[in-house]
A and B are shown apart, each in its own frame.
Chain A
Amino acid sequence: MRLQNLHHLFPAALLCLGLACSIAHAADAIRPTRDDEVVEVLPAVTRQRPQARASEGALLQTPLAAAQAAREAIGVARQTGDTRYWGRAQATLGPWWDKPNAPTELAILQSTVQQGRHEFEPARKVLTLALKRDPGNAQGWLNLAALERLTGRYPEALQACSAVQKAGQSLYATACELETRSLQGQHAQARSGFKTLLADFKQDDQRSWIYSLLAESEERAGKDTAALAAYRSSLQLAPDLYTSIAYSDVLLRTGSHAQALRVLQPLPRTDAVLLRQATAMRRQGDAGWQSLRTSLRERQGALDRRGDDPRLHGREQALVALWLDDDPAQALTLATSNLALQREPLDWWIALQSANQTRNTAQTQALQQQIQTLGLVDARLPGGLKLAAEKSARL
């Protein structure tokens, strides 16, 4: 009987942990006194009211309108880091979602939504099927190349890049190839290639994108000053959440914590941002980092409560263990299983850092072996410079 009572308490305890914030706030309803008091700020997408909402149901039935609405939602999801907009994008694609005869455009958008939610394998499946039906779709091939790079399949990425070329988008194809080659260690070639592309592309957002690719390439080449300059140029042309976070990572890595905090401060407070803010504060000796750690824990509880797959956030979880919890063993476990999901340089870096800190030389060697097999060359990875030097000596 007593046991049984405990049994009942358990979910309640979970609830308190997971929804601590929400429960605390559930006490009293707020009723502002002034009618003009602003109670919520909406992201751009819902500010635009394309025609009458009442006829929206009918409107969205056309693939064109659905694609338009999905693109808007995807844009907001990327800019705000608010995952709910991925759900909205999926809803607008609803009638065509997972349908084998969906128009290519909509299938590609579906895979974009899935990629945004880190569902890389399903995204790849949808994309591959769509491109079989419509091999001339440059956007589709570009997305596929990104997915291949993300999972460390560089030869496949290069194939996708040449398909972009065949689809008639040679500038994008060049950028695609340069990025992949840079991952494989051809940093100097990538640098001059990107600089040429900066002259070819005319629009701000395109140039901002090339600058961010250049910045990442410079990081892999071990040229942090050049990388920082390229990140700044990219962000000046067009602010972007992903690029800002990558910029802050260089600053954190090079010990510019105050500057990293300034970069992070205006960003929407996603888990990735919060984690980096906490890290910077901690390294500066600011005790406030602990409340951010608590927030991250509460968010994890809320995610679990929703039934979301925790493995999709493996990178952030490993970083939390490594940077905030001083638990490299846990970080190594998380980072290693995360490598099954994504294999960007940062993912290898986290795994290697954790292995180093646990003094797990066997694991370190195994990871380095995997990196070598993959063909990734990155100065930030322990042993990466040596590899890079060998590679350039061979060329």
Chain B
Amino acid sequence: MKNFRSTLRGLAAVCVLLAAGPVLAHKGSDAYLEVRGANVSGIAPTEGGLQYTLSVAIKDLDVLLPVDANADGRVTWGEVKAVAPAVLTSLESAAQLDAAESGCSLRWAFDGLEQRGDGSYFRAVAYSPCPSTEPPRFRYTLFRDQDATHRLIITGRVGEHDVLLTTSPQQRESIVLGHSDVEPRRGPWTTLWAYLSLGLHHLLEGYDHLAFLLALVLPLRLNLRSRRGLQANALPTLSQQGARFPMWWALLRTITAFTLGHSITLMLATFGWTEASPTWVEPVIALSIAVTALLNLYPQHWLRTEVLALGFGLVHGFGFAGLLLEAAAPSGLLPWALAGFNLGVEAGQLLAVAGWVLVVQLVVRKPWYPAVVVRGGSVLLILLALMWFVERVV
């Protein structure tokens, strides 16, 4: 113990000299895997294969193999080089791509050492030349029987996705090097919640969806005061309500139609049954705003607003789908993600419409409401939408 302490004292002195340099960590044992596309300049790096760099603490390796061959507690460079072939053999089975990728299994090569926060690490590299459309599956079992709390921290970039994962050798299943998993082990409810907030934010921050909603509700004179007396009577049935409050009834039908429309295409696209390219979806979304606003100026009685909302809703749904696909919903939890996202969009719509209803109360009873708010607002929306259209086409 005395020897060890004096060595530590020496180490501590070096650390102070290095200022923010490495220090012994107060955490369990970690190994690190970095995955990178091998052709850095390529558009689709997976096509060129992947480069794997694995770093394992020498302290940990010594529990598996006699790294410290003369057992004096001091591991020399010579000892590391001598044991390297045995380490690589262990890695070949304990840090490997899944069986399905048998043709392109990793062949580890010794690369040298690496200094990290808690000591020296053995660094191995491997290259997988296999072109792959699927994200690779990695199986890691190193130290499964030697350290119950060992973890592998995976970083890097595979295809279009940043990878940031943590796995344990105790885990029975291999890990997909596909997407970042900031919240590991997501359940249905957390997925629902996460995608609900994604949907909500997307709607509230997606100015084009808001503009479309505005174009739809502009001509409706949503006067809150006209509800006066409702509480006094018994609650009327829906159709009675519709007759008594035509504007509110119209609002409900329009929003529901829009919802129905975008839910359909969102579902179709997310499950991969249809596909839509953003090159036409994005400009058409802009056009939908212009057309709806134009119809506010020149109402066509043969065209019901809810039909319009339903039709354009279908196009907006493709817009949402692109986002959902990019957010890489975990495939097993896709229905939950979809439900959450839809609920989030709906919540966002309700919030936005509620906000509009409150704001519009200031002017809704003014005689100039139709001229200034409806017509003026519609003209502004048309101009804005045409600008977006040009932006998206050019």
Contacts and interface: CB of A to CB of B under 8 A. Distances in A.
B307 interface: no
B76 A38 contact: yes
B182 A14 contact: yes
Contact of A42 (B1, B74, B80, B205): B74
Interface string B147-173: 111110101000001101010000000
A308 B116 contact: no
B368 interface: no
Contacts of B303: none
28 contacts: A4-B326, A21-B22, A25-B22, A25-B116, A26-B32, A26-B55, A29-B114, A31-B77, A37-B76, A37-B77, A41-B4, A44-B4, A46-B62, A53-B66, A80-B24, A82-B24, A82-B26, A84-B28, A84-B149, A88-B63, A90-B148, A90-B149, A239-B5, A270-B26, A291-B19, A295-B23, A306-B151, A308-B28
Given A41-B4, A88-B63, A306-B151, A30 B74 contact: no
A3 B166 contact: no
Given A26-B114, A44-B1, A82-B24, A36 B53 contact: no
B205 A26 contact: no
A394 to B, nearest CB: 43
Given A11-B182, A83-B26, A44 B77 contact: no
Interface residues on B, range: 35 or more
A303 B147 CA distance: 17
B162 A22 contact: no
A63 B224 CA distance: 77
A91 B23 CA distance: 26
A125 interface: no
B1 A79 contact: yes
Interface in B129-148: 143, 145-148
A285 interface: no
Interface in A1-47: 3-4, 7-8, 10-12, 14-15, 19, 21-23, 25-26, 29-32, 34-44, 46-47
Contacts of A299: 25-27, 117
Contacts of B346: none
Closest 10 CB pairs of A and B: A29-B112, A35-B78, A87-B149, A90-B148, A84-B29, A271-B26, A32-B77, A40-B120, A40-B75, A87-B147
Nearest to A93: B148
Contacts of A100: none
B184 interface: yes
Contact of A8 (B113, B116, B162): B162
Interface residues on A, range: 35 or more
Interface stretch (A144-152, A159-167, A261-269, A359-367): A261-269
Interface in A254-293: 265-272, 274, 288, 291
B252 interface: no
Interface in A42-98: 42-44, 46-49, 53, 57, 79-84, 86-88, 90-91, 94, 97
Interface in B41-69: 53, 55, 57-60, 62-63, 65-66, 68
Interface stretch (B8-16, B89-97, B293-301): B8-16
A327 interface: no
B150 A87 contact: yes
B58 A265 contact: no
A306 B27 contact: yes
Nearest to A267: B8
Nearest to B198: A7
A268 B8 contact: yes
Contacts of A29: 111-114, 123
A204 to B, nearest CB: 13
Nearest to B32: A22
Contact of B73 (A30, A41, A288, A295): A41
